[in-house]
Chains A and B, each alone.
Chain A
Amino acid sequence: MKKKDDSMRLSIDAKNLGYRELNLKIRNFLNGSGRGNDIGYEGNGDNCSREVTIKNALGHRYIGDGLKGDALINVYGTPGNDLGAFMDGPTLEIFGNGQDGIGNTMNSGKIIVHGDVGDILGYSMRGGEIYIEKSIGFRGGIHMKSYREKVPVLVIGGSAGNFLGEYMAGGIIILLGLHKREKAALPFAGKTDIIGNYTGTGMHGGKIYVRGNIEDYKLGKEVRKSVAGKDDLDLLDRYVTAYCSLFNIDRKKIPVSSFLKLIPCSYRPYGKLYAY
């Protein structure tokens, strides 16, 4: 890695900053200007590879939103909703838990979270990669989509709540199931699980890989089980290896042969809904 001088790094203590001030500081630095404008960062030439470290993030919304280029942004604390929305290039690494709406309509780049995240992870995501060390809430990967070379990828180390891959139109979700969810509500109290109900409801594109088997009733009506082929195994190997190296996990613990593949039954599940 190229050695960076101090002008290429910035450390921000977010403690007494509102989210607007914080995001403006990040943008101005990545723009290479001290001026108070609010335009997107266009990465080019020397401006590339700048690194921002944010400390004491606490509910600050919209970090990394709409940023371009290949900057690196490290976040310590608990960043707020819509992290990395519309992001197009940079790498965001979160040392802590994330909240809701991470990677909303993200276009390219990478988000790495050392912890859990909330609901609607990767909402409408259209490119780039998201790695979550532990578990996610409801509706992960809702309405992800892909187009030609743009194929978004979600890798989830732990478990996922209900409606994983809801209305999914493209892209890849990989669920490793290394951490289980424990149910607390009667009459289900005490049961543990790696995936919730209604998985892939309304799914009409893309692929979901789940380590281990799952009961049929957990699948939405629009999705079916399938067997992973050679291409699938290669792809799984690539992303599982990446996950393991990011979070220091023994690669041998996760054999790619143990994955189940879920694909949509139809590419137009509701095509006949209103046609009589």
Chain B
Amino acid sequence: MNRLNNINKINRNTQEYFSRFRIPSGCAVFGVVNESGERFSGQMVMDGISVMHERSNGLGGGFAAYGIYPGFEDDWVFHVFYDDMETKRQTEDEIARNFKILFGEEIPTVKISQIVNPPVIYRYFLKSKRNGDAFETEEDSIMDFVMHVNRDIRGAYIVSSGKNMGIFKGVGFPEDIGRFFKLDQYKGHLWTSHGRFPTNSVGWWGGAHPFGLLNWSVVHNGEISSFGTNKRFVSRFGYECTLSTDTEVITYLLDLLVRKQKIDIELVHLILASPLWEDIERMPVKERDILKALRILYGSALLNGPFSIIAGSSDFMYALNDRIKLRPLVAARKDRYLFISSEEAPIRRICASPDHLWHPDGGEPVIGIVRKKEIKKEIKSVRKIQDNKKFTKLVNTEMISLNKSRGDLNGSGIKAI
């Protein structure tokens, strides 16, 4: 692995860094959620993703795990990569100014030959003491802090900033990264993972997937051709893309749509992978109007190009393909487990006979919702049909007026384009 020699010493904005890692070619995505919120070991996910070894090339692997810090359920957890100890000191000063540090430690790792030149990796359990006045919500202030560190402190990257969750990633094959971080010793109710084959961006520790912000994490196979448009769109809402890869913009779009604008997750695909114009034209007039309005209003949030993604949050796992399915995606259910994968074999590795297994269509989301308290009745439909009522409601409510007024979206501050 010559190209990894002294990689930390090379400025990652340079051509030299880029040229070492630009290898043309797939990625692997894999996720498991227990919809009852029961926790299981990371070993299951490591076993699954390892089946797709050939889809990665050792230049990036990572995991997002939810429910792993039950002792700190209501506290923010930052996982931070530092290039050196000086950066660490500087960043910890910043953290101490803005947060009450409950607990901080180096994330336990094990030395293995497959993982070389890791950065300095720490985690902090925090309570915010930022003055809330400047921000609408505490989440906004956390986001602002993360953006500030990632942009302004050279050599420090907050890779994970949610509650009771964490992202573990780096340069290497995912199964090796999992062993490096001892993920078999963690238990969570929702896990996503990624094996990377960097194509149009560099393979570096911070650039590995999953990408995270607040409770969000995204793993991604493919490329976002609309990156420039999407990046400009989210930048109007205070999100800055600092990690030199296209996946982070998906994370910010989800945060904007679902957390800030409170759009139901079951409707988000109508924006990110909206139906094609010809499909919209065939719809009944009311539905057509609302979908047209969404396309006009959120034109710059449409994700174009080949992709399959799995997004995690504390309450659900969400998978989506591009509209014409240029990347693979397979889903399966067994009891209260939902599995999503780039290939079927990894699912079979950990669950030999699922109740249902299917290949989602392009633009068709797969959603596993965690409901800890009520144990839901058995899911009858193969794909768990989404609630059509939600769409009907959307069609019949105030949003229909968007198309006419083209004004503010219900005070959310979005101007029609």
Contacts and interface: CB of A to CB of B under 8 A. Distances in A.
Contacts of B330: 118
B386 A137 contact: no
Contacts of A99: 328, 343-345
Interface in A163-212: 163, 181-187, 189-190, 196-198
B345 A80 contact: yes
B362 to A, nearest CB: 7
A59 B52 contact: yes
Nearest to A120: B328
B328 A118 contact: yes
Interface in B59-91: none
Interface in A140-180: 161-163
Contacts of A59: 51-52, 343, 345-346, 349
Interface stretch (B8-16, B129-137, B266-274, B407-415): B266-274
B328 A162 contact: no
Nearest to B331: A184
Interface string A60-104: 010000000000000001101100000000000000010110000
Contact of A78 (B266, B345, B362): B345
Contacts of B270: 186-187
A247 interface: no
B390 interface: yes
B404 interface: no
A19 interface: yes
A181 to B, nearest CB: 8
Q: Is the interface of B mostly helix, strand, loop or mixed?
A: loop
B6 interface: no
A185 B51 contact: no
A36 to B, nearest CB: 21
A170 B269 CA distance: 36
A91 B324 CA distance: 32
A51 interface: no
B54 A217 contact: no
Interface string B316-331: 0000000011001010
A137 B359 contact: yes
Contact of B391 (A81, A137, A163, A187): A187
B381 A58 contact: no
Contacts of B291: 187
Given A182-B382, A186-B386, A161 B361 contact: yes
A42 interface: no
B178 to A, nearest CB: 17
B357 interface: yes
Given A118-B330, A217-B282, A162 B51 contact: no
B105 to A, nearest CB: 37
A58 B385 contact: no
B334 interface: no
Contacts of B366: 184
A184 B360 contact: yes
B384 interface: yes
A99 B26 CA distance: 15
Contact of B266 (A19, A137, A161, A186): A186
Interface in B358-397: 359-366, 381-386, 388, 390-391
Nearest to B52: A59
A186 B267 contact: yes
Contact of A217 (B278, B359, B386): B278
Contact of B54 (A61, A77, A186, A187): A61
Given A78-B345, A97-B357, A189 B385 contact: yes
B315 interface: no
B348 interface: yes
B283 interface: yes
Contacts of A133: none
B287 interface: yes
B269 A161 contact: no
Contacts of B325: 119, 137-139, 161-162
Interface string A1-28: 0000000000000000001000000000
Interface of B: 51-52, 54, 266-267, 269-270, 275, 278-279, 282-283, 287, 291, 324-325, 328, 330, 343-346, 348-349, 357, 359-366, 381-386, 388, 390-391
Given A182-B383, A186-B390, A189-B386, 16 more contacts: A58-B51, A59-B345, A59-B349, A99-B343, A118-B359, A119-B325, A161-B361, A162-B361, A162-B362, A183-B361, A184-B385, A186-B270, A187-B388, A187-B391, A189-B388, A217-B282
26 contacts: A19-B54, A59-B349, A78-B345, A80-B54, A80-B345, A81-B343, A118-B344, A137-B325, A137-B359, A161-B325, A161-B361, A162-B361, A182-B382, A182-B385, A185-B269, A185-B363, A185-B364, A186-B266, A186-B267, A186-B269, A186-B270, A186-B391, A190-B385, A190-B388, A196-B361, A217-B278
